[in-house]
Amino acid sequence: MLTSGEFRLRFPALAEMTYLASCSQGALSDTLAAALLEFQHTLLKYGAPWERWMGEVDRARRLFAELINASPDEIAALPSVSAAAYQVASTRDWRARPHVVSTDMEFPSVAHVWLAQQANGAHVRYVPDRDGVVTAEDYAAETDESCGLVSVPLISYRNGVRLPVRDVIAGAQAVGALTFVDAYQGAGVEPIDVQELGCDFLAAGALKYMLGIPGIAFLYVRGGTTDSRDPQATGWFGRRNPFEFDPRHIDYPADARRFEAGTPAIPAAYGAVAGLRVLGDLDLKAVRQHIAELGQYAHDSLTAAGEHLWSPADAVLRGPQVAVRTGDPNRLAGYLADRNIVTSPRGELLRISLHYYSTADDVDAVVTAIRDFRRTGG
């Protein structure tokens, strides 16, 4: 298993850049750069090597399954987590159990999918945050036998708070509701075991902490999960044999591939394999510990510098992100970018996100630069 120092060497740009934006896009590894060149090579040498390309999509499914302790048959490859959420929603009959439980801390792209189901009879209940924190008790207050689906992020994109996913899932199971976990802000830096979680669905994309590029996401569908109706967005990859080319008949596989639709983004599949291969050299428990310690250092350093944070002070609740309250986060992010420090502004927050390649020197650099920004009247 790689140490954090050895892992950092896999990202050449980090020699000259302070990269603290993994919550938006993971840093470019040497493995990813090589994979994208390999895709280009397949075009130059073979033209249209579909068998090779499909092998890469299958490899991405298998590696993601290994990451979350699932079977490859339980994984569908989709273009985004939004598409994954829609596919799940489209298979539900909302007449018997019309309520969807969501939270204000959910990423809007997923939350909007649930809202759009109102046209099909669904009603959304929201679990509020309490100064950036969501409790299992608040979820339980909105979850009963009328709920068809309970949606909970593993970690919120807004401020990096870790949600009580296991307790929420247990509460949903107690009343017979299905569960959807958005793991986008944790997959790659958090140990995830869907067998332990017990969720029905879990989705994550490749471009953030999983160190790939945009264009591909994965949907875990627990084996044995049944649909009220077939997925409503479909295509030739949602067939039992995509290469049968029969326009007059539609058949759905029994496994998670029934949620797939059109042609996968092949370059993104190469990118996903590259990222997952790099992550395969890590002990994710060590990764989580490294990030927890570094996150505490960032929290303490920023607080000592007089910054107001919206990420949790409690390390148990804090994921791989520290969120700084600021009047104009885009201006602050631009100031930092001019100094080769990459961060991620959202709303009224500047998000500083950490990966296994992040160091205390990175934290010191951003804290010093923010202090300098404040001195200039920012």
The 3-class secondary structure across the chain, one letter per residue, is CCCHHHHHCCCHHHHCCEECCCCCCCCCCHHHHHHHHHHHHHHHHHCCCHHHHHHHHHHHHHHHHHHHCCCHHHEEEECCHHHHHHHHHHCCCCCCCCEEEEECCCCHHHHHHHHHHHHHCCEEEEECCECCECCHHHHHHHCCCCEEEEEEECECCCCCEECCHHHHHHHHHHCCCEEEEECCCCECCECCCHHHHCCCEEEEECCCCCCCCCCCEEEEECCCCCCCCCCCCCCHHHCCCHHHCCCCCCCCCCCHHHHCCCCCCHHHHHHHHHHHHHHCCCCHHHHHHHHHHHHHHHHHHHHHCCCCECCCCCCCCECCEEEEECCCHHHHHHHHHCCCEECEEECCEEEEECCCCCCHHHHHHHHHHHHHHHHCCC
Please give the average per-residue pLDDT across 211-222, as a whole number.
Answer: 98
| pLDDT value at residue 291 | 98
Query: Sorting pLDDT into bands at 50, 70 and 90, what band is 41?
Result: very high
- Condensed to tens digits (0 to 9), the pLDDT of residues 47-59 reads 999 999 999 999 9
Please give the average per-residue pLDDT across 93-107, as a whole number.
Answer: 96
For strands 147-153 and 178-182, give the pairing. parallel
Query: What CA–CA distance (Å, rounded) separates 313 from 160?
Result: 11
Query: What CA–CA distance (Å, rounded) separates 331 from 80?
Result: 29
Residue 102 β-bridge partners = 126
Query: Sorting pLDDT into bands at 50, 70 and 90, what band is 322?
Result: very high
| pLDDT value at residue 377 | 78
Topology of domain 33-279, CATH: Aspartate Aminotransferase; domain 2 (3.40.640)
Q: In a 10 Å sphere around its CB, with 0-12 CB exposed, 13-18 middle and 19+ buried, how is residue 47 labelled?
A: exposed
pLDDT of 378 over the 90 cut = no
Topology of domain 4-28+283-375, CATH: Aspartate Aminotransferase, domain 1 (3.90.1150)
Beta-carbon contacts of 64 under 8 Å, excluding residues fewer than 6 positions away, are 70, 75, 204, 218, 272, 276
Query: Sorting pLDDT into bands at 50, 70 and 90, what band is 1?
Result: confident
- Condensed to tens digits (0 to 9), the pLDDT of residues 67-96 reads 999 999 999 999 999 999 999 999 999 999
Query: What CA–CA distance (Å, rounded) separates 218 from 342?
Result: 27
- Condensed to tens digits (0 to 9), the pLDDT of residues 158-175 reads 999 999 999 999 999 999
pLDDT of 302 over the 90 cut = yes
Q: What's the predicted TM-score (pTM) here?
A: 0.96
Q: What mean pLDDT value characterizes the chain? A: 96
Spatial CA neighbour of 177 closest among 132, 220, 125 = 125
Q: How many CA atoms lie within 13 A of 54 on its CB side?
A: 10
Portions of the chain given CATH number 3.40.640.10: 33-279
pLDDT of 20 over the 80 cut = yes
| pLDDT value at residue 6 | 96
Portions of the chain given CATH number 3.90.1150.10: 4-28+283-375
| pLDDT value at residue 243 | 87
Q: In a 10 Å sphere around its CB, with 0-12 CB exposed, 13-18 middle and 19+ buried, how is residue 295 labelled?
A: buried
